[in-house]
Each structure stands twice: as structure tokens, then as C-alpha cells.
Amino acid sequence: MNQDEVITQQPNAKTPVGKKIGAAVLVICGIILVLFVVSHFPNRRSSGKRHPCLNHLKQLSVAVRMYCEEHGRPPDLNKWCDQIMPILSFSTKMFVCPDAPRQAKETGYTYGLNPHFVIGDSRCVLLFETNGGWNKSGGADMMAFRNHGGRQKWSSVAFADGHVEVIRPEDAGKLKWQPEDVNSPNQSR
């Protein structure tokens, strides 16, 4: 028996044994992929709506930062929504989290402005989810964690450097709300 005969006798994809091994590997890979997806997205309905909310905050934060650059100062707290709306030609829908409860959508808008933000500070909150109200501004006590339904509780936050994150209630105390919060536990961001 020469070497070519030995090689052809081993299972490959064309032999019944090779086909079974290939199918088994595919099935195992499929099961692992399904388990990975299920474990990382426990509430698909809620996580699917997270992205439009983060996108809204990202666009609003760009508009606030553009306003600050154009005017040399932050927008007025009692009319910040009105002042940034023309910058990027927003509709009022941009100020509403798509997943907010119906009552929040009916009573107003779901994002608030941190009155103490410093543009460019990657740790300082600029915009955050709140429970409705046009031109709302304030701090941590106004954050809403139930806008997204389901068992997951989280809130979307835009930071003063323009990035956005999802924050869980237990991490809200680590957020930086004022420039003086230099001892914030979130310094190593």
C-alpha cells in the first residue's frame, strides 16, 4: 500500500463518515452561536429599541455642542430644546426616546440637560433620560431607568465629549455631574 492509498482511505467530506463529522461540527457551532446570542441579548425587544434612543442622544449632544461653539456659551436651561432644534433641523420626535412609556410621550419629552456640563469632558454628563418635559434640566435625581420596559433597568446618557452609554441604576452614583466632581469614582473612563 502506498501513501496515496492511505490518504484516500481516511474520511473526508465525500465519504459518509466525513459528511457526518462535518454535519456534527456545523450543528455544534450553531448551538454555540444560539447560546451566545441568547445569553447576550436576554430581552431582544428592549435591546432592539436601545439603539434609536442612543442615536437620538448622540444627535442631540452634537447639536448642543454645536450651539456652544456657535454662541460661545451653553443653551439657556429653560429653552435648550428650542435653541438646538434649528441647528440640525430636528423634529420634536428626536427629543423622545422611542421606547418611552406612553404617558411620558403624551406629557412631554424624555431627555434632560445637565446644567453643569463642561464641553469635551469625557466623564461629565451632558444629556440623560428623564420622565418627560420640554426643556427639562437637572441632575441625577431626574434620571429615568424604566423608559425601556422589560426586566432590564437602564438609562441612556450622552457625555460632554459626545459619546453615549447605557447606565444601570447601580452605576448612576458614579456619574460626573459637575466639573468639581473630580473625586468621582468614574475617573478612569
- DSSP code string of 109-135: --EEE-TT--TT-TTBEEEEEBS--TT
Percentage of the chain with pLDDT > 70? 67
At residue 5 the predicted structure's pLDDT band, cuts being 50, 70 and 90, is low
Report the C-alpha gap between 65 and 28 in whole angstroms: 49
Is there a contact between 129 and 168 (Cβ–Cβ < 8 Å)? no
Residue 53 confidence (pLDDT): 82
Residue 187 confidence (pLDDT): 36
Report the C-alpha gap between 173 and 136 in whole angstroms: 20
Mean pLDDT across 144-151:
68
Sign of the torsion angle spanned by Cα atoms 104, 106, 107, 110: positive
Residue 16 confidence (pLDDT): 64
pTM exceeds 0.75: no
Place of cell 469632558: 121
Q: What is the pLDDT of residues 153-184, one digit of tens each?
A: 788 899 999 999 988 888 888 999 988 754 44
Least confident of 20-34, 49-63, 103-117: 20-34
Is there a contact between 132 and 111 (Cβ–Cβ < 8 Å)? no
124 three-state secondary structure:
strand
Report the C-alpha gap between 3 and 152 in whole angstroms: 61
Position with higher pLDDT, 148 vs 187: 148
Q: What is the pLDDT of residues 6-47, one digit of tens each?
A: 455 555 555 566 667 777 777 777 677 766 665 544 443 344
Report the C-alpha gap between 35 and 134 in whole angstroms: 42
Domain chopping of the chain, boundaries: 3-40, 46-174
